[in-house]
Chain A
Amino acid sequence: QQQVKQSPQSLIVQKGGISIINCAYENTAFDYFPWYQQFPGKGPALLIAIRPDVSEKKEGRFTISFNKSAKQFSLHIMDSQPGDSATYFCAASSTGFQKLVFGTGTRLLVSP
């Protein structure tokens, strides 16, 4: 119930393309869904986050799509750039910023 399933494990996208990473959860108590970007040897950095009262949130080239009934959410990276090459983690937590449950991660490589 506490798991967040993430796919794909790895992804190769051409420069300028769209990168799509998907996550699914079971715990209906989750109400905060952030996405993090992590470079090697660094801590995760918040990219964008969403709450279940909206179905989509966009910040620059990053968009979260959220499907509450399916218990799924996804990250879309538009116009992907080589600098976006990193590992991306979805996560979820319950009300009150309780412990954050992470997905398994997606290694994104954007080819020049």
Chain B
Amino acid sequence: GAVVSQHPSRVICKSGTSVKIECRSLDFQATTMFWYRQFPKQSLMLMATSNEGSKATYEQGVEKDKFLINHASLTLSTLTVTSAHPEDSSFYICSAVRTDYGYTFGSGTRLTVV
């Protein structure tokens, strides 16, 4: 139980285009999901907290207009990287909370902007 599916696992896009990453809780409902960014050999840095039916809460320094988060249902949150640039290339990871299990992480999305 407590499985989180993240899609796609890898994506390459051209500079200036937008990319959408999906995070689904497969066997439970998640009121809250989290989005992280991880650079090589570094820790996970929280970007935003996604709450079902309301606006996401962004961490300091994260551009809201660049990283659009939508948590439209209790099982799906999406992160859209708008007007992507090479510096946005990173490993993006989502997480969902199941209160009897804790935090479960998706398998991550490797974004490469060329």
Question: Quick one: which of A45, A93, A102, A107 contacts B44, CB cutoff 8 A?
Answer: A102
User: How many residues in A have their beta carbons less than 8 Å from beta carbons of B?
Assistant: 21
Nearest residue (CB) in B for A100 is B103
Counted as pairs of residues, one from A and one from B, with CB atoms less than 8 Å apart, the total is 49
Cβ of B102 within 8 Å of any chain A Cβ, yes or no, is yes
- Residues from chain A with Cβ under 8 Å of B45 in the complex: 102
A87 CA to B36 CA in the complex, in Å?
A: 17
Chain B, interface SS category: strand
Given known A-B contacts A41-B108, A99-B34, A100-B34, A46 and B46 have beta carbons under 8 A apart: no
A44 CA to B44 CA in the complex, in Å?
A: 9
Q: Is the CB of B108 within 8 A of A89?
A: no
Q: Is the CB of A34 within 8 A of B103?
A: yes
- Residues from chain A with Cβ under 8 Å of B49 in the complex: 99
Task: Determine how close the nearest CB of chain A comes to the CB of B49; give it in whole angstroms.
Answer: 6
Question: Quick one: which of A41, A99, A107 contacts B46, CB cutoff 8 A?
Answer: A99
- Residues from chain A with Cβ under 8 Å of B105 in the complex: 36, 43-45
Q: Is the CB of B103 within 8 A of A41?
A: no
Cβ of B110 within 8 Å of any chain A Cβ, yes or no, is yes
Q: Is the CB of A32 within 8 A of B93?
A: no
Q: Is the CB of B46 within 8 A of A100?
A: yes
Nearest residue (CB) in B for A101 is B46
Task: Determine how close the nearest CB of chain A comes to the CB of B84; give it in whole angstroms.
Answer: 20
Cβ of B54 within 8 Å of any chain A Cβ, yes or no, is no
Question: Quick one: which of B32, B42, B46, B93 contacts A44, CB cutoff 8 A?
Answer: B93
Cβ of B90 within 8 Å of any chain A Cβ, yes or no, is no
Task: Determine how close the nearest CB of chain B comes to the CB of A61; give it in whole angstroms.
Answer: 20
Q: Is the CB of B42 within 8 A of A105?
A: yes
A43 CA to B110 CA in the complex, in Å?
A: 11
Cβ of A104 within 8 Å of any chain B Cβ, yes or no, is yes
Question: Quick one: which of A34, A36, A43, A93 contacts B106, CB cutoff 8 A?
Answer: A43
Interface residues of A, Cβ cutoff 8 Å to B: 32, 34, 36, 41-46, 49, 89, 93, 97, 99-105, 107
A-B contact pairs, 6 of them (CB 8 A): A46-B103, A46-B104, A89-B44, A93-B103, A100-B103, A104-B42
Given A34-B103, A41-B110, A42-B108, 8 further pairs, Cβ under 8 A: A43-B105, A43-B106, A44-B44, A45-B105, A89-B44, A99-B34, A99-B46, A104-B43
